[in-house]
């Protein structure tokens, strides 16, 4: 069983923010796979299932993402190496795509929550959202929508990322990284 988690915040006011890029990829994966809703209150999130793949959007708000992930992980007995987390990354330029296993949270509160509940040894799909001019602007920056010119490539970038994530079902992380990592998405 593979568990693919997209990080974000619930609510329409956050739908197109930088912090919600993980949710947007999950929406694409759910749509493409025709996954069915298997959500329960005890999962603290929206959960979808297609064959042996689970797609999760925690609805706990970013800072408590681990609460939702651990509930689903335990219920379905998902191994740590079968967990993929898709998230925004301000340390990467806009539209960059990187993948890795393990590592630190880099100040990302969603990853911090997950690390504290399940440990650090899961696969991370890091989507670059750029960074603000000043470090003190991070919260405001990630909770604002992408710029109009950034949105122009968003559908294609999300589709590309969704394809890369699905490759992880059958190929090694190293193979997928070598084929799909991006410095920036060119369409």
Q: Give the whole-angstrom CA distance, residue 96 versus residue 169.
A: 21
Provide the annotated active-site residues.
19
C-alpha distances out from residue 106 to 57, 77, 96, 169, Å: 21, 28, 16, 26
CATH class of the domain at 2-180: alpha beta
Tokens of 132: 């603000």
**DSSP percent split of the chain into helix, strand, coil, nearest 5:** 45, 20, 35
Each residue's pLDDT, cut to its tens digit, for the chain (187 residues) gives 999 999 999 999 999 999 999 999 999 999 999 999 999 999 999 999 999 999 999 999 999 999 999 999 999 999 999 999 999 999 999 999 999 999 888 889 999 999 999 999 999 999 999 988 887 888 889 999 999 999 999 999 999 999 999 999 999 999 999 999 989 887 6
């Amino acid at each position: 069983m593979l568990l693919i988690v997209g990080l974000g915040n619930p609510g329409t006011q956050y739908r197109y923010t930088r912090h919600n890029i993980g949710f947007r990829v999950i929406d694409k994966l759910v749509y493409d796979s025709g996954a069915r809703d298997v959500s329960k209150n005890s999962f603290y999130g929206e959960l979808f299932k297609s064959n042996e793949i689970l797609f999760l959007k925690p609805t706990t708000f970013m800072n408590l993402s681990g609460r939702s992930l651990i509930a689903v992980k335990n219920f379905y007995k998902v191994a740590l190496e079968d967990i993929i987390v898709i998230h925004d990354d301000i340390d990467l330029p806009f539209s960059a795509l990187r993948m890795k296993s393990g590592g630190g949270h880099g100040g990302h509160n969603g990853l911090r929550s997950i690390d504290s509940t399940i440990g650090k040894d899961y696969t991370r799909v890091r989507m670059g959202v750029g960074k603000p001019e000043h470090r003190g602007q991070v919260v405001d920056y990630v909770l604002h929508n992408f710029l109009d010119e950034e949105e122009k490539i968003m559908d294609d970038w999300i589709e590309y990322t969704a394809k890369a994530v699905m490759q992880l079902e059958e190929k090694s992380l190293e193979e997928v990284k070598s084929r799909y990592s991006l410095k920036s998405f060119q369409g």
